[in-house]
Structure 1
Amino acid sequence: MKFYRATAATMADANIVITGVPDESRSHALRKGTDTAPDTLRAASGESEFFVRDGKTIPTVPMMGTLEGKRMFDAGNIKREQVYEHTLGIIKAGKIPVAIGGDHSLTTDVLAAASKTLGKKLSLLYFDAHPDFVSSARNYYGSVMTDSQDHIDFGKSMTIGTRAAEPEEIENARKAGLQIVTPIDIVEMGVHRVAEMILAKTAGSKTYISIDLDCVDPASAPGVSVPSPGGLTTADLLFLLTKVMAAGNVAGFDIVELSPDYDLNNMTAYLAARILTECIASLKI
């Protein structure tokens, strides 16, 4: 099984490499099942991204950007301990890595590999209900920011959709100079203004984008590990993501924390597949 849009036969033929990481060994969530997410997302893309009529398969067209010139290779699934070296190889080959989790801790290894290969810290756009900036515990999905601090330029980074932070996370973000944008901020300022803020914040930097599906309101994305009411709308999320992708300088991105056992009629899986397609279509390559 592979992502429906992945048509490159080999990694050498591709400019975008998609890899699944079916692992939740560093999750503390009570709701389990993200280890089945990569193949669930792939299956959703094969159910929702085309129509069949008169014996012909007709792919749907992305809302923004284009898939022309986007040569995608689905590298299949790898083990958690392979993420760092695998990502190093992709970036050294001049291709854009896309990781599908699994739990959010995989972002730590992707950031480390990207920072090492590029020789500098990265801007990070972290779409998540939680800032994952716990420092009283380490090496799990809630300490991504702390574990990745040597690879992140916090002054040029943001968390977006944050609404369920622990007190120490707010304090750690304040000390690091990490800007937090809540869903209420987006309502108050408007999504266009927030997009301008994001582009200004990351200007001139290589940017990595991490998308925890719990950034979306659980009314639209119930199939996540740690749902939190009051999240982003799907349209606002897609608008912000496509604007960032189109601006260029994207080092890679990931989609994590899909929990299929808690999904409703596959709506979160279909959303994840749509996010993946729209992000790739809007990527400036």
Structure 2
Amino acid sequence: MTSPTHLPYGGIASFARAPIVRPDGHWRAFAAVLGIPYDIALGFRPGARFAPRALREASLRYVPPFAGLDGRVRLDPAHYPDPLMVDGGDVVLPSLEPELARERITAAARQIKERCRLPVFLGGDHSVTYPLLRAFHDIPDLHVIQLDAHLDFTDTRNDTRYSNSSPFRRACEDLPNLVHITTLGLRGLRFDAEAVAAARARGHTLVPMEVVEAQLQDTLAALPARCPVYLSIDVDAFDPAVLPGTSSPEPDGFSYALAMRLIREVVRRHRVIGLDVVELAPNLDPTGRSELLASRLIMETLAEVFGAEVSNVRE
């Protein structure tokens, strides 16, 4: 008789029931999850601080090993000698000390990064990507690929330099190894001309949503090739009809299928070295489908990276 297994609504909610570890503990794994329950840098509706817990609970619907109906995606811990995935818990954050919060986020991200192949960060608003990227200061020729309705390259907003509108501006100022950012899915009525000009002056690639849809093959071909990539996914990249639980939804965004098609191409062309999923506000979606979609996106991205690694080893 096999040991009993909890149904998705039972037991302790670690991400995909992964073993719970300390970020600074004695462990090694293929992937490690770290929660960043922080949303005091938002400019509109709060709630992203609740996302790490919601994502963990939703992930229990997708516990590995699993495969897609076509057999293409597989996530089987038996193929990897170390634990496939661990859960490093959440960074302990001060409620109203943003500078200290950033320091703690960077420190915990470095600890996770040193112990696994793929760190997976559960935001939190998008401001957390700046201190997370600081943990990758030692990666030469670092590229960021950002799925987002908004550029997030603003210099200041309401006299604030560290809002969720500015993470990539601050990262580019602090990280000389961050050589390029590609932003996919831009749209909306709110527009910061200075931020767009500054990003273009630095050589970044800005792709509006309508171009992603109409010229998908050209968009994929234009992605920088064969370089280390940090993948940052703001869930407002998705159409709010698909994922409504976010602070600043914008109509006419990604479908799930289109987002995964892009992510698969990124994984095929690059070595993805880090992933964050940010701006999920589960309190804004009483149906719970937003966190289900976001947690599935994480699991499928993990499966794609893991599958690419296994294929490379076999070859």
Same fold, judged at TM 0.5 (above): yes
Residue number among 185, 193, 201 corresponding to 1:161 in the alignment: 185
User: Within 5 A, what are the aligned runs for 1:100-115?
Assistant: 100-115=122-137
User: Aligned in 2, Cα 1:277/1:148: closer, same or farther, shift over 3 Å?
Assistant: same
Whole-Å separation in 1 of the counterparts to 2:17 and 2:67: 11
How much does 1:93 deviate? Answer: 3.2
What residue is the counterpart of 1:79 in the other structure? 92
How much does 1:279 deviate? Answer: 0.5
Whole-Å separation in 2 of the counterparts to 1:154 and 1:189: 27
Whole-Å separation in 2 of the counterparts to 1:252 and 1:38: 17
Whole-Å separation in 2 of the counterparts to 1:153 and 1:241: 23
Identical amino acids, percent of aligned pairs:
29
User: Within 5 A, what are the aligned runs for 1:147-186?
Assistant: 147-149=170-172, 150-151=174-175, 156-164=180-188, 165-186=191-212
Alpha-carbon contact 2:243-2:290 (below 8 Å) kept? yes
Amino acid at match of 1:4: A
Amino acid at match of 1:145: F
Residue number among 18, 33, 36 corresponding to 1:18 in the alignment: 33
User: Aligned in 2, Cα 1:154/1:178: closer, same or farther, shift over 3 Å?
Assistant: farther
Instruction: Could you tell me which runs of 5 or more consecutive residues in structure 1 were left unpaired when the two chains were aligned.
Output: 51-57
Amino acid at match of 1:3: F
How much does 1:264 deviate? Answer: 4.4
> How many residue pairs align between the two structures?
270
Q: RMSD of the alignment, in Å?
A: 2.3
The structure with the larger Rg is 2
Residue number among 130, 133, 138 corresponding to 2:150 in the alignment: 130
How much does 1:208 deviate? Answer: 0.3
Alpha-carbon contact 2:54-2:282 (below 8 Å) kept? yes
User: Within 5 A, what are the aligned runs for 1:170-209?
Assistant: 170-190=196-216, 192-198=217-223, 201=224, 203-209=225-231
What residue is the counterpart of 1:32 in the other structure? 46
How much does 1:194 deviate? Answer: 2.3
How much does 1:38 deviate? Answer: 0.5
Counterpart of 1:114 in 2: which secondary structure? Answer: coil
Alpha-carbon contact 1:160-1:180 (below 8 Å) kept? yes
Alpha-carbon contact 1:129-1:231 (below 8 Å) kept? yes
Whole-Å separation in 2 of the counterparts to 1:38 and 1:78: 11
How much does 1:197 deviate? Answer: 2.3
How much does 1:66 deviate? Answer: 2.4
How much does 1:216 deviate? Answer: 0.4
Does residue 61 of structure 2 align to residue 61 of structure 1? Answer: no
Instruction: Could you tell me which runs of 5 or more consecutive residues in structure 2 were left unpaired when the two chains were aligned.
Output: 1-12, 94-100, 310-315
- Tell me which moved more, 209-218 or 236-245: 236-245
- Tell me which moved more, 274-283 or 73-82: 73-82
1:137-169: per-residue Cα shift (whole Å, max 9, x none)?
411110011111133767642001111342222
Does residue 239 of structure 2 align to residue 214 of structure 1? Answer: no
User: Aligned in 2, Cα 1:217/1:152: closer, same or farther, shift over 3 Å?
Assistant: farther
Whole-Å separation in 2 of the counterparts to 1:62 and 1:281: 10
Alpha-carbon contact 2:106-2:135 (below 8 Å) kept? yes
- Tell me which moved more, 16-25 or 146-155: 146-155
Whole-Å separation in 2 of the counterparts to 1:281 and 1:6: 15
Alpha-carbon contact 1:34-1:260 (below 8 Å) kept? yes
Alpha-carbon contact 1:5-1:72 (below 8 Å) kept? no
Alpha-carbon contact 2:130-2:167 (below 8 Å) kept? yes
